[in-house]
Structure 1
Amino acid sequence: MSEDEAIDGNTDADDLTHTTAEGDVQMVDVGDKPDSDRRAVAVGEIRLRRSTVDAIRDDEVGKGDVLATARIGAIQAVKHTWETIPMCHQIPITNVDTDFSLAEDRVELRVTVETTGKTGCEMEALEGVTTGLNVVWDMVKAVEKDDEGQYPDTGIENVRVLQKAKRRS
């Protein structure tokens, strides 16, 4: 059974690719799979106070350029996904694109990852989104806290894979 069949749900519990017959976890053997050009797009958003979004837009956050820093964090996360997700393969990243959109009360981040290899890159795209948004939070947390030190208006939401594609190299 291929990894794609497992993703599509055309499998029985006995055919799970990340467990042995004894129930132990294992990394999927992709050695016999052909190389393919692969692309994944993930997106998510961080809900913020309007004044915080305005400060990001006007580059007036005390810690520095929020989006530039978040972009670097997102790219770093993509490159290191295999170190944080136990069953991910280390893959050759050929391209990472980050796109930020600012609305009145949120920042959206879309991360596109491309690779040529034997396995997909959707986990890398998701890691890029979540880390990029965490960096935004870290950069603005001083202005997002309320008087009790809490974050009632702040939240990372709607993280998802928008697209996953592959074609033979």
Structure 2
Amino acid sequence: MNNELENESKLTHVDQSGQASMVDVSAKTPTTRRAVATGFVSMTPATIALIKDNNVAKGDVLATARIAGIQGAKQCPSLIPLCHPLMLSKVAVDFDIDEAQSKVNIRCECKLLGNTGVEMEALTGVSVAALTIFDMCKAADPNMIIGSIKVMTKEGGKSGKWQRDD
């Protein structure tokens, strides 16, 4: 990967004595920070059809998952220990129904002007959206698989722009 942070060997959330510690970002220069994460939920073609035709008994799956993903990104510091509470300026959750692969692709973009990155918020947005899709469709398809949740790109801060090579 073309990641400048690969060479850093110390863990930033552990102090000198090995105790968990929230990183002090107060000395960092505020910049526009942006991150995009993706993932998917694979399912049967019949479940894809239910979602596409809005025939899932619990309601509109993608609309509900979008709201859940946005809320998940906003709640990241309540869910993940040591994450900073951030004033997000943008959270967008989008879906692509891939009928050929029988899956729903999920993309979450988070953005802000601040002292620390938004990768965890984007990952949490994708994760919560995927869990919501699973929850709403599990009666029709308990064999669904949530997979490949990853950061695709991040921008801002001292390290600049990073993008996944695969």
State the TM-score, normalized to the length of structure 1. Answer: 0.87
Partner of residue 113, structure 1 = 110
Partner of residue 133, structure 2 = 136
The alpha-carbon deviation at position 10 of structure 1 amounts to 2.6
CA deviation map 1:16-35 (0-9, x unaligned): 32111111010000011111
Partner of residue 62, structure 1 = 57
SS in 1 for 2:65: helix
Partner of residue 98, structure 1 = 93
The answer to whether the 8 Å contact 2:76/2:120 transfers is: yes
Q: Matches of residues 14-25 of structure 1 in structure 2 within 5 Å?
A: 15-25=10-20
Please state if 1:159 is matched with 2:149.
Answer: yes
The alpha-carbon deviation at position 111 of structure 1 amounts to 0.4
| Identity across the alignment (%) | 39
Please state if 1:123 is matched with 2:112.
Answer: no
Q: What is the Cα-based RMSD across aligned positions, in Å?
A: 1.5
Q: Once superposed, which parts of structure 1, at least 4 consecutive aligned residues long, lie more than 3 Å away?
A: none
Distance 1:91 1:52 in 2: 36
Partner of residue 11, structure 1 = 8
CA deviation map 1:76-102 (0-9, x unaligned): 000000111111100110001111000
Please state if 1:74 is matched with 2:45.
Answer: no
Which residue of the other structure, out of 22, 25, 49, is the alignment partner of 2:44?
49
Distance 1:16 1:140 in 2: 39
Give the direction of change, closer, same or farther, for the CA distance of 1:30–1:85 in structure 2 (3 Å limit): same
Partner of residue 84, structure 2 = 89
SS in 1 for 2:46: helix
Q: Which has the higher helix share?
A: 1
Partner of residue 163, structure 2 = none
Distance 2:151 2:45 in 1: 27
Partner of residue 148, structure 1 = none
The structure whose Rg is larger is: 1
Structure 2, gaps ≥5 residues long: 159-166
SS in 1 for 2:156: strand
Structure 1, gaps ≥5 residues long: 146-150
Report the count of equivalent residues.
Answer: 154
Distance 1:88 1:167 in 2: 17
Distance 1:17 1:132 in 2: 28
State the TM-score, normalized to the length of structure 2. Answer: 0.88
